[in-house]
């Protein structure tokens, strides 16, 4: 059994022994270097607002394992009404003052426009759990109003909470950096969106929830001391290697730039659209964060806009890398006051700007090869040849023209043979314009002839990077429809399927298929 933490060890030595009290006690809010210790300029301490009759919708055993909770044990403790109450934000006892949760303040650029102060408008931090030398912060999303809620209600609906829960876990299993989700707790408390819906709370789990927008907040308010405290917190906790650089803050920008470039390459390579890449939705750790109107593409459209509210297409699929780069500019701008303290006063500002620009250039030098190497792997090319990027782009063009299914196309390419076209059909049949596919397939086969891997070896390698199962909109929708009827089995099943995205799972073949007709007009918007 395995529920322990290294300090003040809370140990349960049998599965039955893990109680909700022990789980709650393991959440540590008092570490000297925790975000919450940054103090009042950064956050407001407040209790969650209780919800009536909370119930368990889903729990992720895998996320629990990250926290050191034995998967079997969490399944069991999750059935305890005290679990639902706790992760709904309804404590059984009054929150002791020193354990009071916290909502943090940030600002940001939304859809390219400075939006001023934002903040955790519906999320509160509970503290951290340490396991295996790693510390993870727990945050309840949808737990009530905070001083940063503006005109909104501090709540999240069941529908968007299930989507966030499933996608965080699915992304993790795809190997893409992301915040995690421990559980979804529902309540029949009505919440007004376009229609009346019911509310839910997701427990998010991450090493940190710091966003680009946290830095922009202190920069925009000319609070350099707090800006520095925040940067020092992030460096000390997450990028300690930056301390050795001449300019630790520039080194921080560089690290974040590289992680963001990698993340953009990861998203592009699985056909994932985030939907709301505002600077307040950009993680300082390069994690996918704030799942709202995201989407995995079915038929490939390079300019796909997954967010119905994004009328200009600012966050379309093809623009994501560019927007990541734009957001890094905002972060760089916010860090400017911290740069260059090792330079003499004379000429410092010019040198600082040059440094920042050079570091940001690193995005371009990192992103293109990062995406190229992912595309090469997706095509099963073990060797590197001039023109591989053209071959990949040519495929994307034919896919775009034919709206060929993104996930199925790459998955089915693995079935092709390098000798002849006899096994082309599974991929080829996804293209209306068969001749266009054949032309590309000829070039592909010519390229495969330069590879030493056998067809079987190549297929195995491709199947490790081209998922068979992704969280298609219609799959999430099906699980949501059932959940609204209080049947949560489909959420559970879908999570299970998506926890092995690269494996053949014959019993779940239908989860890998094209979306049904009823799903063609599904829309997701910022409403959540």
Residues acting as catalytic residues: 280
Among 73, 178, 179, 281, binds Mg ion (CB under 5 A): 281
Q: Does 101 bind ligand AMP (CB under 6 A)?
A: no
Compare residues 145 and 223 and give the one whose CB is closer to ligand AMP: 145
153 is annotated as contributing to ligand binding: yes
Q: Which stretch binds ligand AMP (CB under 6 A): 25-33, 118-126, 131-139, 517-525?
A: 118-126
**Minimum distance from residue 222 beta carbon to ligand AMP (Å):** 21
Q: Which of ligand AMP, Mg ion, none has residue 419 at its interface (CB below 5 to 8 Å by kind)?
A: none
204 is annotated as contributing to ligand binding: yes
Structure-token pair, residue 385: 């040849």
Q: What are phi and psi of 199, to 5 degrees?
A: -100, 165
Distance CA 398, CA 415 (A): 18
Residue nearest to ligand AMP (CB): 121
Q: Does 198 bind ligand AMP (CB under 6 A)?
A: no
C-alpha dihedral, 205 to 206 to 212 to 214, nearest 10°: 70
**DSSP letter string, 294-354:** -EE-SB--TT----TT-TT-TT-GGGHHHHHHHHHHHHHHHHGGGTTTTS-STTHHHHHHH
Q: Which of 384, 447, 388, 383 is nearest to 418 (CA)?
A: 447
278 is annotated as contributing to ligand binding: no
387 is annotated as contributing to ligand binding: no
Among 226, 247, 290, 405, binds Mg ion (CB under 5 A): 290
Q: Which of Mg ion, ligand AMP, none has residue 152 at its interface (CB below 5 to 8 Å by kind)?
A: ligand AMP
All residues at 6 or more sequence positions from 416 whose CB lies less than 8 Å from its CB, including other chains: 423, 424, 427, 441, 444, 445, 455
Q: Does 120 bind ligand AMP (CB under 6 A)?
A: yes
Q: Are 219 and 148 in contact (CB under 8 A)?
A: no
Distance CA 134, CA 5 (A): 10
Count Cβ atoms below 10 Å from residue 22 Cβ, excluding itself. 15
Among 153, 438, 443, 455, binds ligand AMP (CB under 6 A): 153
Among 50, 121, 147, 515, binds ligand AMP (CB under 6 A): 121
**Minimum distance from residue 290 beta carbon to Mg ion (Å):** 4
Q: Are 180 and 168 in contact (CB under 8 A)?
A: yes
Taking phi first (over 0 means left), then psi (-120 to 50 degrees means alpha), and beta for anything else, what does residue 516 get? Answer: beta
C-alpha dihedral, 144 to 147 to 149 to 154, nearest 10°: 0
Site string for Mg ion, 238-277 (x = CB under 5 A): ----------------------------------------
Residue nearest to Mg ion (CB): 290
Q: Does 281 bind ligand AMP (CB under 6 A)?
A: yes
Q: C-alpha 146: how far from its chain's center?
A: 23
Q: Which of 214, 203, 257 is nearest to 35 (CA)?
A: 214
Q: Which stretch binds Mg ion (CB under 5 A): 44-52, 168-176, 280-288, 400-408?
A: 280-288
- What's the distance, Cα to Cα, between the start and end of the chain in Å? 38
Q: Does 105 bind ligand AMP (CB under 6 A)?
A: no
**Minimum distance from residue 317 beta carbon to Mg ion (Å):** 20
The site that binds Mg ion (CB under 5 A) totals a number of residues, namely: 2
* DSSP letter assigned to residue 283: B
The site that binds ligand AMP (CB under 6 A) totals a number of residues, namely: 16
Q: Does 155 bind ligand AMP (CB under 6 A)?
A: yes
Among 17, 152, 224, 432, binds ligand AMP (CB under 6 A): 152
Binding-site positions read 119, 121-122, 141, 153-154, 204, 211, 281, 290
Kindly list the residues in this chain that would bind ligand AMP in the complex (CB under 6 A): 118-122, 148-149, 152-155, 276, 281, 290, 292, 526
Kindly list the residues in this chain that would bind Mg ion in the complex (CB under 5 A): 281, 290
Binding-site positions for ATP read 119, 121-122, 141, 153-154, 204, 211, 290
């Amino acid at each position: 059994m395995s529920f322990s933490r290294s300090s003040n060890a809370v140990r349960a030595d049998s599965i039955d022994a893990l109680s909700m009290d022990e789980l709650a006690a393991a959440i540590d809010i008092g570490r000297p270097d925790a975000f919450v210790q940054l103090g009042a300029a950064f956050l407001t301490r407040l209790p969650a607002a209780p919800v009536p009759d909370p119930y368990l919708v889903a729990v992720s055993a895998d996320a629990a394992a990250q926290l050191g909770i034995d998967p079997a044990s969490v399944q069991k403790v999750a059935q305890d009404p005290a679990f639902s109450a706790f992760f709904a934000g309804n404590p059984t006892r009054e929150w002791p003052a020193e354990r009071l949760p916290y909502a943090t303040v940030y600002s940001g650029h939304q859809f390219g426009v400075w939006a001023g102060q934002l903040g955790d408008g519906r999320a509160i931090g509970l503290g951290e759990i340490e396991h295996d030398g790693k510390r993870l912060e727990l945050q309840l999303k949808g737990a009530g109003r905070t001083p940063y809620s503006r005109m909104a209600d501090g709540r999240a609906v069941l529908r968007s909470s299930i989507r966030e829960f499933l996608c965080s876990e699915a992304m993790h299993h795809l190997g893409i950096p992301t915040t995690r989700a421990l559980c979804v707790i529902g309540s029949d408390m009505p919440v007004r969106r376009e229609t009346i819906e019911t509310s839910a709370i997701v427990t998010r789990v991450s090493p940190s929830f710091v966003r680009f927008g946290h830095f922009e907040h202190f920069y925009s308010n000319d609070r350099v001391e707090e800006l520095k405290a925040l940067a020092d917190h992030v460096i000390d906790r997450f990028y300690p290697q930056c301390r050795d650089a001449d300019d630790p803050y520039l080194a921080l920008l560089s690290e974040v730039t590289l992680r963001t470039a990698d993340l953009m390459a990861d998203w592009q390579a699985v056909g994932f659209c985030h939907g709301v890449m505002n600077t307040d939705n950009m993680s300082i750790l390069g994690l996918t964060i704030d799942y709202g109107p995201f989407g995995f593409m079915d038929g490939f459209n390079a300019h796909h806009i997954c967010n119905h509210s994004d009328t200009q297409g600012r966050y379309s699929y093809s623009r994501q890398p560019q927007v990541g780069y734009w957001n890094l500019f905002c972060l760089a701008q916010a860090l400017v006051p911290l740069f260059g303290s090792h330079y003499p006063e004379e000429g410092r500002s010019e040198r600082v700007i040059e440094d920042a620009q050079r570091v940001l250039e690193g995005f371009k030098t990192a992103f293109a090869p990062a995406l190229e190497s992912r595309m090469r792997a997706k095509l099963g090319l073990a060797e590197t040849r001039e023109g591989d990027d053209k071959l990949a782009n040519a495929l994307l063009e034919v896919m775009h023209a034919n709206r060929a299914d993104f996930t199925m196309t790459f998955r089915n390419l693995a079935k092709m043979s390098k000798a002849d076209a006899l096994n082309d059909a599974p991929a080829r049949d996804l293209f209306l314009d068969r001749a266009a596919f054949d032309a590309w397939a000829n070039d592909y086969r010519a390229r495969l002839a330069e590879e030493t891997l056998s067809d079987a070896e190549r297929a195995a390698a491709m199947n490790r990077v081209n998922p068979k199962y992704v969280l298609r909109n219609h799959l999430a929708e099906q699980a949501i429809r059932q959940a609204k009827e209080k049947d949560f089995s489909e959420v559970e099943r879908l999570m299970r399927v998506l926890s092995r995205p690269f494996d053949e799972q014959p019993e779940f073949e239908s989860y890998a298929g094209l979306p049904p007709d009823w799903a063609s007009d599904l829309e997701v918007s910022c409403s959540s």
